[in-house]
Homo-oligomer: A and B are copies of this chain.
């Protein structure tokens, strides 16, 4: 399928880029280079490049969130910048934890600069996100910072569960969904409501936007899990079968294990062998699909998309804003990468 980039994402990139550069310029010189590298602005020697820097989904949500509250999207800008920074913080540390050497078709920060620098640069970004909100967030900065810290804490818990699950054999589909709720949905929940919080919106609107973001996040993660098995490396920028090789307990894998019955042990064996064998990973992917893991995950992605969109129904949004949130949601779930 062909998906056009929603205008909100394009606008977010243009609006956020200069503000993000300004924020990152405040980083101490010791961590600025790896941070700018992570953001796709420079190569490892600091020479300007234009590498991919993500799709700015979180930033776009924060901006549209402010508009949902009836104010100019500039009010949501510190939130948009903070979301991009927190997202990149989590990628930096995740890549160290998962030992991933490649992201967005380039060496990851630890692979390029060493583990120590990747850890401290991630730390610096996590702190910078809070600083942006506290210093530029206007009259509702404290509330916004509270939301951001609580959401970041949930994300970190989800990432920790992700690590734990790699060595556990008893992960259920519910566990995997809860992990996704932390790892991904918490931050989209935050992004979709942060702009409204910065605008001082009432709590009903904030809650509706948060629900939209939360279910969109679950949908997003389900799609990500599909791409982690069946995505093409040249599109995803990650090595083939990466989730299988890393013993990840993603939604399709866990769903297949739960449904596999007599074939569960075969699948477990193939997954274990995937660590070192590409052929086993290919066979595991086939078996996961055969056991319905792919279909269940596609279904979950669609269901949570529907729930996300339904959350907006009672929120009395400006039609233009509602259309943009709708468009972003569909784009996220229909993306090929």
Q: Does A115 interact with chain B (Cβ within 8 Å)?
A: yes
Q: Given known contacts A135-B146, A149-B131, is B28 in contact with A154 (CB within 8 Å)?
A: yes
Q: Given known contacts A131-B149, A131-B153, is B124 in contact with A96 (CB within 8 Å)?
A: no
Count how many chain A residues have C-beta atoms less than 8 Å from C-beta atoms of the other chain: 42
Tell me which residues from 112 to 133 in chain A have a Cβ below 8 Å from any Cβ of chain B: 114-117, 119-124, 126-128, 130-131
Q: Does A202 interact with chain B (Cβ within 8 Å)?
A: no
Q: Does A272 interact with chain B (Cβ within 8 Å)?
A: no
Are A146 and B134 touching (Cβ within 8 A)?
A: yes
Number of copies: 2
Q: Does A141 interact with chain B (Cβ within 8 Å)?
A: yes
Q: Which residues from B are CB-within-8-Å of A279?
A: none
Are B117 and A157 touching (Cβ within 8 A)?
A: no
Closest-CB distance, A226 to chain B (whole angstroms): 24
- Measured in the bound complex, the distance between the Cα atoms of B29 and A96 in whole Å is 22
Q: Given known contacts A115-B97, A160-B28, is B153 in contact with A124 (CB within 8 Å)?
A: yes
Query: Which of these, B117, B135, B149, contacts A127 with CB under 8 Å?
Result: B149
Q: Does A161 interact with chain B (Cβ within 8 Å)?
A: yes
Q: Which residues from B are CB-within-8-Å of A120?
A: 93, 97, 156, 159-160, 163
Which 7 pairs show the lowest CB-CB distances between chains A and B?
A: A28-B157, A30-B160, A116-B163, A97-B116, A120-B160, A131-B149, A142-B142
Interface residues of A (CB under 8 A from B): 27-31, 93, 96-97, 114-117, 119-124, 126-128, 130-131, 134-135, 141-142, 145-146, 149-150, 152-154, 156-157, 159-161, 163-164, 182
